[in-house]
Structure 1
Amino acid sequence: MNELSETGTPLEFRTVGVEEELLLVDAETGAPRSVASHVLRVAHQRGDTEADADDVGGSVGPELQEQQVETDTPPEEDLGLLEIEIGRWREKARAAAAETGTLVLASGTTPLPVRPRTFDDERYSEMTERFGLTASEQLTCGCHVHVSVTSDDEAIGALDRIRVWLPVLLAISANSPFWQGTDSGYESYRSQALTRWPTNGPTHVFGSGRAYTEHLRQLTDTGVPLDEGMAYFDARPSRRYPTLEIRVADVCLDPRDAVLVAALARALVSTGASEWRRGVEPDPASVAVLRLAMWQAGKHGTSGDLLDPVTHRPRAAHEVVDSLVAHVATALGPPGDLDRVEEGVRRLFSRGTGAARQRKILAEEGRLDRAVLRLAHLT
């Protein structure tokens, strides 16, 4: 379904879906609990797991560690429906967790100390054996956004042109200030923990779907990653769905922030795909520069300077976010989407990121365990 923008060009109404990784914490102490297997049994009894789903999307499923689960929404065109689905699947995860005496917590890392326990899965066990502490200590929760694409070449054409903007999505979503009971000094320490994986991070310009496939083959031929599923890039074409999967965001405390990230991600993909079709060359910024931009976003969130995606020089975060909105404004086509994004940005800068809210709640409660329980109820 297409309509015309004010300039007469067609607007693409791409579908967008969201995967959220959620922590499982004790309902009385706030400490992480290794109960995912039990939670998933309850969810299956309720018909809420992937095995029970009739359509693509809409389930509660496992993740790497027993102290977390993952939810995903069906693909939606309407952002209002997407927000409803995010809330619905958080509630389904919460209801299943309640049977085990736990709460779900939308935080990129657990504030309280934890010794992760790997979920009973052959692939996860192999990852832990091969990657040691990198895998066994990995307990992070992200928000992955799937945006529909029409072909592999379109996916890579868009990816090549959006990669410089992805650190801004991390800054907006930053929601992991604590690590093992300590303030990390970062707005998103999850983004730091992920760099321990050998395949994590930004990508270079590929130019075509074939070049991307060859890149994956070269990586897997080294024998370092187990398979192509370990291509933990900032964004990648999905192996399961006809989507471009954007993986940089922390899971958001407020579902409305998740919708903001999803709206901007979809608009970025539409803008990048349009530029690809028109032959607009992608920014040739190096992977090294993009790593610095991602570090800056993870360190400061929206509370300090970010690296400008055009000049790659420091610039006030609110100006960089405004430039992102301006960059994708014509792709925010459905009625109300631009208004929703602009309201979300105003809310973000008046209230702060999830990380800022976590620190504020800790200051009010005086103890991390009390703060965690309050954050879980906000989730």
Structure 2
Amino acid sequence: MTVGVEEEFVLVDPRSGVTAAEAPRVLELLKDERGVVAEFLRYQVESVTGICRSLSEVRADLTRLRGRVAEAAQDAGCVALATGVAPFARVSPVTDDPRYRRLADRFPRLIGEAGTCGCHVHVGVPSRAVGVRVLARLRPWLATVLAISANSPYVDGLDSGWASARYPLWSRWPTVRPPSAWHGTAGYDAAVDGAIRGGKAIDARSVHFHARLSPLHPTVEVRIADVCLDVDDAVLLAGLVRGLVGTALAEERRGVPLPHVPDVLVERSLRAAARHGLGGPGVDVLTGVPVAHERLAEDLLVHVRPALRATGDLEDVRSGLWALTARGGGSERQRALRAGAGTPADFVARLAATTRGGDLERKAAQ
């Protein structure tokens, strides 16, 4: 199974932390780099890995692209941050692109909160019909994926009280919802076409299910995650999502019945994951019983273990999950970075260094 990762970043002023509408300049500096593209707002850019066959390829691409974005941002007089929501004040200039202008015209009241940043993991599937059934099998695990990635505690300079403040902001868009348990492509296509005809989306690309069939590639695209704070977490996320898709494909081959997961429990579990993150309480969507998210993450690892073993990812994913649990999720680490920072500029520097990783993070923390 091939895997690819898209990461969205915010650009901010290095002194105030206020968003900086410098994406056009950053992209001009990176005009030789096909893996960095424009996003909806001019204080965002997105990186796109190649089609990868191993997590080592994913890691290499993510590391290289984060480095290039960081260098171009510095040359443009700003800083690139991997956080689900810009932590300080946000301005909202829309990127000068016909499709983005159509979105802005259709949903003008949502523009001010539109600049959230996610991590989208694509996994190749053999057909759209199989992909639709894979989506149904992902439903019980979407909240755990969100809890593992939750990385947006700050909004407008204040602690939002959420591990993923991106989740409630992003959920205001009319098509942002979990995938249904469709049994075939007819049901899926009817849901997408209905959203477009009903004015909830301008095209298939703006139908933002938490997990969907990619409108552009032969993949299942899992979109629920915040952009991860560092490369290690992003690689872990990619491995877990590929493991989930691989497990779903294996269940399809064996004829395992689709899980019955009530929509209300999926929504409850997602909200708990967004509120508390990996270190807090969650909801077991199969029983409705409150369970610690760390326990649900362990259950997820057990669930995907055969698929991870088949792709050679088991040790990388297992050690990555243990490390994440030990050091805390992105939101916890952001709060620790903020607590140790004397000024917005200091916090931005620490967050930028963590985004890029390596020795820079350790130096910023000293």
Distance, in Å, in 2 between the alignment partners of 1:23 and 1:218 is 32
Distance, in Å, in 2 between the alignment partners of 1:27 and 1:369 is 6
The aligned amino acid for 1:143 is C
**CA-to-partner distance for each residue in 1:263-307, whole Å, 9 max, x for gaps?**
010010111122123222222223232111110000000121111
SS of the aligned residue for 2:217 comes to: coil
Distance, in Å, in 2 between the alignment partners of 1:119 and 1:221 is 25
SS of the aligned residue for 1:24 comes to: strand
SS of the aligned residue for 1:125 comes to: helix
Of residues 223, 235, 239, the one that matches 2:215 is 239
Distance, in Å, in 1 between the alignment partners of 2:186 and 2:75 is 48
Distance, in Å, in 2 between the alignment partners of 1:137 and 1:85 is 29
SS of the aligned residue for 1:145 comes to: strand
Q: Which residue in 1 is equivalent to 2:28? A: 41
- TM-score between both structures, scaled by the size of structure 1: 0.91
Q: Which residue in 2 is equivalent to 1:321? A: 297
The aligned amino acid for 2:227 is V
CA displacement at 1:334 relative to structure 2: 4.8
CA contact (8 A) 2:92 2:111 kept: no
Q: Which moved more, 1:272-281 or 1:182-191?
A: 272-281
Q: Which moved more, 1:148-157 or 1:125-134?
A: 125-134
Rate the CA distance shift 1:282–1:368 in 2: closer, same or farther, 3 A.
farther
CA displacement at 1:98 relative to structure 2: 2.1
Of residues 154, 158, 161, the one that matches 2:134 is 158
Long gaps (5+) in structure 2: 356-366
Of residues 120, 123, 135, the one that matches 1:147 is 123
Q: Which residue in 2 is equivalent to 1:15? A: 2
Between the aligned residues of both structures, percent identity stands at 38
Distance, in Å, in 1 between the alignment partners of 2:302 and 2:255 is 21
CA contact (8 A) 1:30 1:370 kept: no
Of residues 1, 11, 31, the one that matches 1:24 is 11
Distance, in Å, in 1 between the alignment partners of 2:155 and 2:345 is 13
**CA-to-partner distance for each residue in 1:88-136, whole Å, 9 max, x for gaps?**
1111212222221112110111111112211111221121122122123
The aligned amino acid for 2:91 is R
CA displacement at 1:30 relative to structure 2: 2.9
Q: Which residue in 2 is equivalent to 1:54? A: none
CA displacement at 1:76 relative to structure 2: 1.0
Q: Which residue in 2 is equivalent to 1:84? A: 60
Distance, in Å, in 2 between the alignment partners of 1:96 and 1:27 is 14
The aligned amino acid for 1:210 is A
CA displacement at 1:31 relative to structure 2: 2.5
Q: Which residue in 1 is equivalent to 2:350? A: 374
- TM-score between both structures, scaled by the size of structure 2: 0.94
CA contact (8 A) 1:115 1:137 kept: no
CA contact (8 A) 1:147 1:245 kept: yes
SS of the aligned residue for 1:280 comes to: coil
Superposed CA RMSD in Å reads 1.4
SS of the aligned residue for 1:332 comes to: helix
